[in-house]
Amino acid sequence: MLRYFFLLTMVAYSLPLLPANDTLFAPSIRVGLDVSGLARHLLEPEVMDSELSVDIEWRKNHFLALEAGLVSVNVDKESHRYQSDGFFFRLGPDFNVLGRGDHNPNDLVLLSFRYGYGRLKQEAPFILISDPYWGDFEDALDSESYQAHWLEAGLGLKAEVFRHFFVGWALRGRLLVARSSRTGMDPYIISGYGKHSGSTNLMLHYHLMYRIPLR
């Protein structure tokens, strides 16, 4: 799994990025909040997703990013109740492929790669299966742990709207490469990955960020 991740990273380094003059380069760190989780909560009140990010530009147009957060799901319906709580992180490089001119020195178009890990605990304390012939059947799923590993690749944009303040979005495809195999039920949402609908997933993120120059 990690071999494929580092292979993707090396391929990205070999891409013909636009040349840049590093003589005036100053390293910086950027911290941010993913607000797409708040928007999702309005559409799906049973899901609460919070995510923070930090990236460092250690070399001009080259970034190392870390994203981490918490996810909780609480479904309460007549036929079943389901709860899960988990955490996740994603780690990987970003590469700016946009030339930096005098009018947009800090705007970025990013090619991104990530390794992701998510872990959660889930339970279904009440499950009702109705049958008009055999009658109703009640069951429950005890608390159990679930974990998953995946790889990501995608594109994103970060634009400076005020001095050191950025807004942006990122669209990434995800490939699930490993997961828990012995569970009583597949999770409703894998922390940091999204809905458990197969081995691939596509997610859109919206970010608010603040940049801190390091010198």
Residue spans of the domains in the chain: they are 28-213
Give per-residue pLDDT as tens, 52-84. Answer: 999 999 998 999 999 999 999 999 988 889 999
| Residue 18, pLDDT score | 40
Give per-residue pLDDT as tens, 136-192. Answer: 777 788 889 999 999 999 999 999 999 999 999 999 999 999 998 777 788 989 999
Q: Is 38 helix (H, G, I), strand (E, B) or coil?
A: helix
Write the DSSP assignment of 116-147 as a string of letters.
EEEEEEEEEEEEEE--TTT--EEEEEEEEEEE
Measured between alpha carbons, how far is residue 51 from residues 20, 34, 81, 179, 187 in Å?
32, 5, 25, 22, 19
Average confidence (pLDDT) over 85-89: 98
CATH of the domain spanning 28-213: 2.40.160.70
Q: How confident is the model at residue 20 (pLDDT cuts 50, 70, 90)?
A: very low
Give per-residue pLDDT as tens, 113-127. Answer: 999 999 999 999 887
Overall pTM surpassing 0.85 (yes/no): no
Bridge partner list, 118? 88, 148
